[in-house]
Homo-oligomer: A and B are copies of this chain.
């Protein structure tokens, strides 16, 4: 493995719950030697990518990442462009809408919006990781990813997050076939209990799948009428965002969405 990859995987250890990490923890979590971690963190600190904070000298992400993100959004306004669509979707359905994005090998939440229609709602957090096999967004993306990616994912051990999580590769493959035909995916308490979620895939300029947009609601609230509105809204939002991103819907998806609408 390259040195750069190791250093940047160190950055991936930072999460919302674990914003500060000490040197020893960093070494334990990454499996790298403490000296290696130290040299890398020192180097990245010099570039402003991380900084040391607090009473101990624990590390956290530094201000340089803000500059990089500002430049990325200036070049490719992924998030800013899609945000209004996500908000409209949340308002029209009265439920939580969220947008996710393939980053490296994982699917991450990029943006989300709540509705104020109900006192209870499904909560989200930015930059969270979504498992492919247990979320509607994950399945929507997986259905339109190359077979090689699907094969290698299904070859690994799939964790069960709830009693309802589907972990059998054959069952998942069957669901993917359905999703390819209908153009949307659905899960039922497979990631979090009592949550029902529907998603559609999003596509980039080359026609490859780059992410998904989804709506998540408390299961008890999802009537057939609401479900229909969710699917219809997602198809429109999916087409809109794909256009905003300069992407192109695969013919099969375009046909599936046109028939349903």
Contact = CB atoms under 8 A, between A and B. Distances in A.
Nearest to A42: B2
Interface stretch (A75-83, A137-145, A187-195): A75-83
B16 A71 contact: yes
A65 interface: yes
A133 interface: no
Task: Give the copy number.
Answer: 2
B104 A46 contact: yes
Interface in A60-101: 60-76, 78-79, 101
A11 interface: yes
Contact of A63 (B8, B39, B65, B103): B103
A14 interface: yes
Contacts of A12: 47
Contact of A104 (B2, B48, B76): B48
A61 to B, nearest CB: 4
A108 B46 CA distance: 15
A127 to B, nearest CB: 4
Given A71-B16, A103-B63, A40 B4 contact: yes
A70 B126 contact: yes
Given A43-B5, A74-B19, A66 B104 contact: no
Contacts of A49: 8
28 contacts: A2-B39, A3-B3, A4-B4, A4-B7, A4-B40, A4-B43, A8-B44, A14-B68, A14-B75, A15-B71, A46-B104, A47-B104, A53-B76, A60-B72, A61-B72, A63-B72, A63-B102, A63-B103, A63-B108, A63-B110, A65-B65, A65-B68, A66-B79, A66-B101, A66-B127, A69-B69, A69-B70, A70-B126
Given A14-B68, A65-B69, A66-B78, 19 more contacts: A3-B3, A4-B44, A5-B43, A7-B7, A8-B49, A11-B68, A12-B47, A15-B71, A19-B74, A19-B75, A61-B71, A61-B75, A62-B72, A63-B101, A63-B103, A63-B108, A65-B68, A66-B101, A69-B69
